[in-house]
Structure 1
């Protein structure tokens, strides 16, 4: 229930609108009951009196109560919907504020389609919290209390029947159906998440599925998930209809008992027959308002589950991140006894990693796939946090520094880089909005992409670019930032060796006093590096300069020999 408490807190931020919505809802309910009550009294009085004054007054009351009911209902809808939309706006903002510090590491715990279903579907579901969950029971309770107190003046027995009917329709029946619908709603939410996830995967992997002739199989899976979701929705609808039917039946039975008991009291002389029709109409008017409670179990369970799913992704307690400023350049980077294991895995990704990177030096991190090179870079970028050990920039712990400020001090090019639908220019300007066309063209020339015009269209995710063009465009984007610390993860793995050497030459010549940390499988051109870190199995097996490692004739030397034999 912690998720719903947070939603309640956000809703009560708009306490004025909520209070006005409850007030006008109460007035609308009472006016509706009074309208029917006065009509019942008018019918009885008209049969027993010929005095036009009384009839005219009662007719005027009918018009007054009808107008009051309409105006109050309009005001209630106005304030309740305004509070709802404001709450949704606050919810989206607060959820994004909690979610933002968790990115991009959150994608290792949740699939993108599931996240999309939560961010869009679950947030949208919570629009019913005030209108269908919080507001109806409060208003109904106030209306029934007023009705019961008024009825008690004429007959305690009839007031007791109305009270019992109110308890059954407002509390008992919704509680029973809330328990019945919990399992159905859980299955429906899980089915919706699965459908969203599978839809996203089909769209993202359409080309690969088509090439490997698995598109029809994936489409069939998607249709199965869609059919399952439709089935769950039908079950929800049937259960909600049953709830409405039972609630309506109980309300009508309560009014029937009011009529029967009132007739008995009238016959026994305990109730003036003039008020019998009025009391019956009061019960009909009061129970007419219970229809929202028939849908209460469905909406309550839907909101409870939606709030729980959002709270699961972004807990109410904010993620504590450092807020310190990174040190001014130049600064060294120190890793001391770093250990890290991915969530859900038994094997450690990094074990006892310790190294020192001096400012203005070029460091290469090499080793076979799965040796922990990319994980190490993600720790340096503060995307991941080590289980043990410390990372320091200029003597200050990385965990104490503002994550975004750390990123601002670096030129980071990871293995996968996102490109937005637009142009070459718009994608480059992401790094530096104030860069001129001349600077953009110079950056393209440095990465051997001078042939690309700045106005060239770029498809979504760079689909019209080759792998090598994407990598070089990502490097060009980093060049425009012109930060003194470079972190490059396989920056030219899809580029031919001649072009790769030219790019490295441009980077090193233009950044003589800058630091470079490069992860690479390619062991060529490492002679320019000041330090080479060799990793295997999540550990540093050796380190040193190119010449010293070759003279040792150990692990790095063996890798070079293998590379030489392969490309000989």
Structure 2
């Protein structure tokens, strides 16, 4: 990314180098002017030296302004690229992120890690290069006066930029901010439940402790950075003191003209201004490395790139599909196999925890099978681009998001108003299209939310509808009514439900029991078999 800004990068490097060298030249000229003036030279010499002094002062100010302007322009450009790249890396996994990462963790990556990485140029890549060029130019100048003082400056800069920073290598990984952000996010999500359960004071106390730990870690980090800078400052002052001692000795031996001693002293004091910040480079580099790893973690999995084959939906198949959740020995599904033909109406039932919702997540590609494969018209869906596959599906989840806006806006459809109103009427929703919906549909009941989500799905005219518990908040009468409406459609329908009403209307019923597909047939045939489904019906 920095190389993509190579023009501004080189300009900033040039401006920074000129700023550093003119600062050195300004103080060198001041030292020389003081020494020269003590010898009472002709007045025009003083005027010429003073003119150069002002010239270096103007050049220093102008180059410093240019350096700040250009380097920050590079930084803001990098910030744009970092954020864009991060969100592009998130996009392919957006549907499953919250099943793999905590909300607070994602929030930390979006804010703290992006802010940390944008500082890489200003705090890690840029300062050492400027310091190197400034020291190189300075030593080319001082070597004409004293090779030993030049060697002293070289040893000191190596000490400040390489040896001493090794003491400030990456500290123990600090995760206090991540823990604090994650816990704070969960606290706000669960505030009502915590209050009702009487656990709010304990949760707030735990948050307070995490906040104190976070603050303490920030203070420790700042102290460590300050300590690194103070050590480099002490090195710079020690070097200047050594220049005085060494220079005075060379003056007494005649190896150095005393006229240049003050100049060399001020050069030593000034040139280390660009070296003092180098003490914190390892700290910022370690933080930037951690941030980079976290921001690119989403690139680890392969992205499906194959286009969805053209043609109408013929079959959806599962071949020996099994699934085990990450970092768990729990087998959520075992060897599931079936074939669903176009236009079929399938109900998937089973006790809680049997694996129905996991199967649903596999069918809509929110999860990938641990073993086996799911096929769309004979093609493995794991290889098909998710967006293209979802474009052929009408998906209704257990928990659907509603936006702050109107009923029409929440239907997310470009259909004519008349069609929307007709569908709302069929679903017995007495809403006008301009009726207000609050964020997360707080002004709608659970049953109204489900029927509004169902209307959103049915307006898509997709070849297959997949619905997870679409009638959980409806009474028996509304459940039957909505089921009949759904099953009159020509599309393929796969419906997961706990409700056992109106199941006779489906073409087939899949019974998931203990993470396996144990029965699959029409309602009447399953009742005749008097198997697991029959006993479920007896217990309802």
Residues 454, 393 of structure 1: CA spacing in aligned structure 2 closer, same or farther, 3 A cutoff? same
CA distance in 2, matches of 1:209, 1:422: 29
Equivalent in the alignment of 2:89: 98
1:420-435 pair list within 5 angstroms: 420-429=403-412, 432=413, 434-435=414-415
CA distance in 2, matches of 1:436, 1:147: 75
Equivalent in the alignment of 1:65: 56
The CA deviation at 1:351 is 0.9
CA distance in 2, matches of 1:41, 1:502: 97
The CA deviation at 1:54 is 2.0
Contact 2:479–2:501 (CA under 8 A) maintained in structure 1: no
1:152-231 pair list within 5 angstroms: 152-179=143-170, 182-183=171-172, 186-187=173-174, 190-231=175-216
How far does the alpha carbon of each residue in 1:277-313 deviate from its partner, in whole angstroms, 9 at most, with x for none? 11111111101222322432332232122222223x3
Equivalent in the alignment of 1:3: none
Equivalent in the alignment of 1:481: 460
1:513-532 pair list within 5 angstroms: 513-532=490-509
Q: Does 1:389 align with 2:366?
A: no
Contact 1:101–1:319 (CA under 8 A) maintained in structure 2: no
CA distance in 2, matches of 1:25, 1:443: 67
Q: Which stretches of structure 1, 4 residues or longer, exceed 4 Å deviation after superposition? A: none
How far does the alpha carbon of each residue in 1:56-106 deviate from its partner, in whole angstroms, 9 at most, with x for none? 221111111111111111111121111111111111111111111122223
Counterpart secondary structure, 2:500: coil
Contact 1:331–1:394 (CA under 8 A) maintained in structure 2: yes
- Which sits farther off after the overlay, 292-301 or 208-217? 292-301
Equivalent in the alignment of 2:517: 540
Matching residue within 475, 483, 487 for 1:504: 483
Matching residue within 234, 238, 263 for 2:248: 263
Contact 2:134–2:271 (CA under 8 A) maintained in structure 1: yes
Contact 1:126–1:307 (CA under 8 A) maintained in structure 2: yes
How far does the alpha carbon of each residue in 1:322-344 deviate from its partner, in whole angstroms, 9 at most, with x for none? 33124432421111111111111
Counterpart secondary structure, 1:213: coil
Matching residue within 512, 519, 533 for 1:556: 533
Contact 2:322–2:369 (CA under 8 A) maintained in structure 1: yes
CA distance in 1, matches of 2:439, 2:119: 35
Q: Does 1:275 align with 2:275?
A: no
Contact 2:82–2:118 (CA under 8 A) maintained in structure 1: no
Equivalent in the alignment of 1:439: 419
CA distance in 1, matches of 2:514, 2:3: 53
Q: TM-score, normalised by structure 2?
A: 0.97
Equivalent in the alignment of 1:139: 130
CA distance in 1, matches of 2:196, 2:310: 50
Contact 2:487–2:506 (CA under 8 A) maintained in structure 1: no
Equivalent in the alignment of 2:326: 343
Equivalent in the alignment of 1:115: 106
Matching residue within 333, 340, 345 for 2:316: 333
The CA deviation at 1:109 is 2.2
Q: Does 1:303 align with 2:288?
A: yes
Number of equivalences: 540
CA distance in 1, matches of 2:316, 2:470: 21
The CA deviation at 1:273 is 0.6
Matching residue within 10, 14, 27 for 1:23: 14
The CA deviation at 1:414 is 1.1
Equivalent in the alignment of 1:4: none
User: Considering only aligned residues, what root-mean-square deviation do their CA atoms show, in Å?
Assistant: 1.5
Counterpart secondary structure, 1:349: strand
- Which sits farther off after the overlay, 286-295 or 38-47? 286-295
Equivalent in the alignment of 2:69: 78
Counterpart secondary structure, 1:345: coil
Contact 2:484–2:505 (CA under 8 A) maintained in structure 1: no
Unaligned runs of 5+ in 1: 1-9, 564-568
The CA deviation at 1:378 is 1.2
The CA deviation at 1:444 is 1.8
Equivalent in the alignment of 1:314: 298
The CA deviation at 1:318 is 6.4
Residues 407, 121 of structure 1: CA spacing in aligned structure 2 closer, same or farther, 3 A cutoff? same
Counterpart secondary structure, 1:535: strand
Contact 1:366–1:535 (CA under 8 A) maintained in structure 2: yes
CA distance in 1, matches of 2:214, 2:313: 57
Counterpart secondary structure, 2:433: coil
CA distance in 1, matches of 2:201, 2:418: 49
Equivalent in the alignment of 2:273: 288
Equivalent in the alignment of 1:566: none
The CA deviation at 1:121 is 1.1
Contact 1:420–1:427 (CA under 8 A) maintained in structure 2: yes
How far does the alpha carbon of each residue in 1:245-267 deviate from its partner, in whole angstroms, 9 at most, with x for none? 11111111111111111011001
Equivalent in the alignment of 1:404: 387
Equivalent in the alignment of 1:460: 439
Q: TM-score, normalised by structure 1?
A: 0.92
